[in-house]
Amino acid sequence: MSSSPLSKKRRVSGSEPRLSATNVPSAATPANGMAKNGGDAEIDEGLYSRQLYVLGHEAMKRMQTSNVLVSGLRGLGVEVAKNLVLGGVKSVTLHDPHPAAWPDLSSQFYLREDDVGRNRAEATLPRLAELNAYVGVSSSREPLSEEMLQPFQVVVLTNSPLEEQLWVGDFCHRRGIPLVVADTRGLFGQLFCDFGDDLVVTDPNGEQPLSAMVSMITKGCPGEVTCLDEARHGFESGDFVTFTEVEGMEELNSCGPVEIRVLGPYTFSIGDTSTYGDYVRGGIVTQVKMPKHIRFKPLRDSLAEPEMLVTDYGKAERPAVLHRAWQALHAFVRTHGRNPRPRATRWGAMGASHHKGALWVG
């Protein structure tokens, strides 16, 4: 049985040299000498047993070869970094050029009063590093640059100005580096993902494939399949299925996945069966998860033509309103160099270049 890395002593010293844009850890040289993930390293099944059950070995292998940059170590950034370290990626680089301030103590759970005035990334590193000895954890306070971003397989931006998001988004999209942009303001938050021009999703919903018992298959174009009326088949139009144990129309047992069109809760069509044998009895139809290709737009294009995720159709207009509010907030910070004051009552009109939103001036 493999031992838990939490019981191993970790060599993290406050005297380590500060990382710059030229010595940010790469896939070959993680900053933490105790890190073991990456390459042909075996997965600690004792530590990652629950995660392996959910994700599988293939996904875990890919995770443990990934170097991730997390920029912005306030409340949201530290939560993301904590989950990445516990999840078992190869390395996590903490980036933040700013010192810790008193307001950070309300949400950044790894900062203490003694850390006020210290760099947020450097103050957070020792406490994050204790979580998982298999993951290399390092820090950097240097400004983001293309040279700095090149070694990473994933980039996460939090608490980042819009101008920085745009150039990082353009660079990551060109290089095929997955990008996540996230931020929170009070009870509101935003999330943007750019996983490239061709992301292949092998399991769109993460659920077990459906199956049903067949009671009848007709000959025709298209042929119609009827399932036992004990339970609904649960399929959707566009799903792919395979057949087994069909007697009579045995050609179905040896053919590949077939696309279906749902006709009712117990029936669906499967294409041309006119040249097959006559159906006799039996059969099991099983859903097949087919790879799905998804193309993501870069952040710059998505800001101009956003695609909103609506979760509450009773407030379908809310995502668009929040989208404009975030743009207004970025514009205010760019103009005034600070966030709006709480409960500001004075407003100013924004130009068309700012999506005709409202701009706080308090």
Per-residue pLDDT of the chain (362 residues; tens, 9 = 90+): 444 444 433 333 333 433 333 344 443 344 444 456 665 667 888 888 888 888 888 888 889 999 999 999 999 999 999 999 999 999 999 999 999 999 999 999 999 999 999 999 999 999 999 999 999 999 999 999 999 999 999 999 999 999 999 999 999 999 999 999 999 988 888 999 999 999 998 888 878 899 999 999 999 999 999 999 878 899 999 999 999 999 999 999 988 899 999 999 999 999 899 999 999 999 999 999 988 899 999 999 999 888 888 888 888 888 889 999 899 999 998 998 888 888 776 654 443 344 444 434 44
Question: Cβ distance 201 to 209 under 8 Å?
Answer: no
Joined together, the tokens standing for residue 299 give 């952040």
**Of 26, 23, 75, 103, nearest in space to 183 by CA:** 75
DSSP 207: P
Peptide bond into 342 cis (omega under 30): no
3-state helix, strand, coil in the chain (%, to 5): 30, 20, 50
The rounded distance, in Å, linking the Cα atoms of 161 and 164 is 5
Q: Tokens 């001036």 appear where?
A: 361
Residues 6+ apart with CB under 8 A from 309: 319
Query: How far is the C-alpha of 330 from the C-alpha of 340, rounded, in Å?
Result: 10
Mapped onto helix, strand or coil, the DSSP state of residue 72 is coil
Residue 20 to residues 123, 139, 160, 198, 340, Cα–Cα distance (Å)? 16, 9, 19, 32, 33
- Ordered strands of the 224-227 beta sheet: 258-259, 240-244, 284-288, 211-217, 224-227, 267-269, 261-262
**Side chain identity, residue 144:** L
| Amino acid letter, 143 | P
pLDDT of residue 48: 87
197: which 2 tokens? 């021009």
DSSP code of 229?
T
What per-residue confidence (pLDDT) applies to 40? 62
**Residue 44's CB: how many other CB atoms inside 10 A?**
22
- Cross-sheet strand order for the sheet of 154-158: 136-140, 91-95, 67-71, 154-158, 179-185, 188-194
C-alpha 143/C-alpha 140 separation (Å) is 9
Question: By C-alpha distance, which of 219, 221, 228 is closest to 251?
Answer: 219
240: which 2 tokens? 């792919």
Two tokens, residue 211:
């199956």
How high is the pLDDT of residue 349?
Answer: 43
C-alpha to C-alpha distance for 10 and 13, rounded to whole angstroms: 9
CA distance linking residue 255 with residue 244, whole number of Å: 10
Rounded-to-integer distance, Cα 176 and Cα 184, Å: 26
DSSP letter (8 states) at residue 159 = S
Question: Residue 257, class by beta-carbon neighbours within 10 Å (0-12 exposed, 13-18 middle, 19+ buried)?
Answer: middle
Q: How far is CA 161 from CA 197, 245, 327, in A?
A: 25, 60, 11
